[in-house]
Homo-oligomer: A and B are copies of this chain.
């Protein structure tokens, strides 16, 4: 089995050379001391930890998995030790405030850390994956008393956390949730109900687990506005155990290293977080960051699949490759390398193009999150807000989609050897599938983008985003002309949907997926033009590493843009 190894040199190239991140961050007072050298050092340390400690546990995570017995969950071999090492080294606290015991580093470094972790071992990474969101939620919404008890423990990762949202009859539609919270005389609440699909609801990684639970007060109205947020730990500060039970864990297609729990709250004594009826607001405050992290899972998993396919294709020979100029040494072998066959080369270069476009876009989105938080400039903040609102659902949807479908393409490079356990790639495809569903299904991301964000302002925000992209295309690059043309088409298509939606309320819901894909392609086009602009004679292995994937993007990926535009226009015409 090949285990994933982070290539921090590539990540570094994209961050510094393509996105110019160190200079951007240093311009912010909060990160005045975060220079390129510090960022590189953090990344390299992270890469080392991920490659040496986390990646080797991935197969046992899948094959042994998390085990449930009598309400307790035993994690796969090595998971607990790795987690203890992880939090004690300060990794969960990377982007938490120094005042809460964190390291106060930029979100973009945390994003890159999670990309590597997910690539190496998605099951293990689920456990700390929710920490930062829980930290932000407690920090901004909990009472001072709760903060005293929980904030530092969650900021450092000494205690892990969950988000308890879904119920057997309430998935995408949380407004249907029925879990009840009855006020107690002491100001606390007794929470009762069953939550399902709770990642890390129970485990042995940390001494305590902090649950954030959506529930309904007795006088609450039906629907999402009747939901409040409550905090209940596995163990209270006095050491007593709460009435929160893990009734079972799910058997799943993959992600066996992460226990997906059915959690029963049996009059569990809980504290309210934030105001009554504002439960969803408190949770959704960190939604962009959470969705970005899911996109990074996709990017990381696709990179991991690519690494395996690439290694296999460079090792194994089958048949003669067509149109190859053979040197004497080459034709001595009885067949050519799989990497030399055009159909396989196409898969490898195309998936490489997806991974690196994903990185540029995800790192930029994380930088925009840093700007939202730390920029003193209101215009910069507004532009960053707009970027995150519009780009985050696109990222979540297309890169989780690509991890599964493109990961399957990478599997195909191995033929039958991809379908069996030996090389480890089929695990990636199984693990990746869930990311298309959680944190808002990909269809809901598309509706979020088109219906809730683009149509509500008649396309103004999207046009402003496209302005900024258009201005940032390298003037000298020939491919920029085609990119500008696609941007113009996207503007026109947006206006057509705005207009046609007046006649047909369901139209936007029908074409939302196509619209999201069209936006994604325009963004990827920009990302690759920026990458190419960053490549010069000093770039190692520039042709194979960057220029071939750029060509693959234009040959095999970008033509989808025309198809999506056509589909949308056709539907608009039918609606009119």
CB-CB under 8 A for A438 and B412, given A555-B567, A567-B556: no
Query: Is A416's CB within 8 Å of the partner chain B?
Result: yes
Query: Is A447's CB within 8 Å of the partner chain B?
Result: yes
- From B253, B323, B344, B509, give the contact of A426 (CB < 8 A): B253
Contacts of A176 in B (CB 8 A): 318, 334-335
Query: Is A343's CB within 8 Å of the partner chain B?
Result: yes
CB-CB under 8 A for A562 and B556, given A172-B415, A412-B437: no
Interface stretch of the complex, out of A143-151, A297-305, A428-436: A428-436
Contacts of A319 in B (CB 8 A): 172-173, 175
Query: Is A250's CB within 8 Å of the partner chain B?
Result: yes
Q: How far is the CB of A558 from chain B (nearest CB, A)?
A: 10
Interface stretch of the complex, out of A87-95, A417-425, A469-477: A417-425
Q: How far is the CB of A66 from chain B (nearest CB, A)?
A: 14
- From B504, B510, B555, give the contact of A570 (CB < 8 A): B555
Q: How far is the CB of A562 from chain B (nearest CB, A)?
A: 6
Query: Is A571's CB within 8 Å of the partner chain B?
Result: yes
| Count of interface residues, chain A, beta-carbon cutoff 8 Å | 74
Instruction: Please give me the residue from chain B that is nearest to A170 by CB atom.
Output: B318
Query: Is A260's CB within 8 Å of the partner chain B?
Result: yes
Contacts of A260 in B (CB 8 A): 420
CB–CB B419/A441 < 8 A: no
CB–CB A434/B419 < 8 A: yes
Query: Is A566's CB within 8 Å of the partner chain B?
Result: yes
Query: Is A252's CB within 8 Å of the partner chain B?
Result: yes
CB–CB A437/B419 < 8 A: yes
CB–CB B430/A416 < 8 A: no
- From B420, B436, B505, give the contact of A412 (CB < 8 A): B436
Q: How far is the CB of A406 from chain B (nearest CB, A)?
A: 11
Q: How far is the CB of A421 from chain B (nearest CB, A)?
A: 4
Query: Is A513's CB within 8 Å of the partner chain B?
Result: yes
Contacts of A172 in B (CB 8 A): 318-319, 415
Chain A, 161-198, CB within 8 A of any chain B CB? 166, 169-173, 175-176, 196-197
CB–CB A322/B426 < 8 A: no
Contacts of A555 in B (CB 8 A): 567, 570-571
CB–CB B506/A323 < 8 A: yes
CB–CB A416/B443 < 8 A: no
CB–CB A322/B171 < 8 A: no
Determine the distance from Cα of A412 to Cα of B513 in the docked complex, in whole angstroms: 13
Query: Is A139's CB within 8 Å of the partner chain B?
Result: no
Query: Is A546's CB within 8 Å of the partner chain B?
Result: no
- From B323, B404, B446, give the contact of A343 (CB < 8 A): B446
Contacts of A196 in B (CB 8 A): 416
- From B252, B405, B560, give the contact of A420 (CB < 8 A): B252
CB–CB B567/A563 < 8 A: no
CB–CB A197/B505 < 8 A: no
- From B197, B342, B436, B562, give the contact of A506 (CB < 8 A): B342
Chain A, 557-576, CB within 8 A of any chain B CB? 559-560, 562-563, 566-567, 570-571
Query: Is A222's CB within 8 Å of the partner chain B?
Result: yes
A-B contact pairs, 20 of them (CB 8 A): A171-B318, A171-B415, A172-B318, A176-B334, A222-B334, A250-B420, A251-B421, A252-B421, A253-B420, A322-B506, A324-B506, A342-B509, A343-B446, A343-B447, A343-B509, A408-B433, A411-B433, A412-B436, A412-B443, A559-B567
For the complex of A and B, list the 4 residue pairs with the smallest distance between their C-beta atoms, beginning with the closest.
A323-B506, A253-B426, A323-B505, A342-B509
Known: A250-B420, A252-B426, A322-B509. 5 other contacts (CB 8 A): A251-B420, A323-B506, A341-B509, A418-B437, A559-B570
Q: Give A residues with C-beta under 8 Å from B.
A: 166, 169-173, 175-176, 196-197, 222, 250-253, 260, 316, 318-319, 321-324, 334-335, 341-344, 346, 404-405, 408, 411-412, 415-421, 426, 429-430, 433-434, 436-438, 441-443, 446-447, 504-510, 512-513, 555-556, 559-560, 562-563, 566-567, 570-571
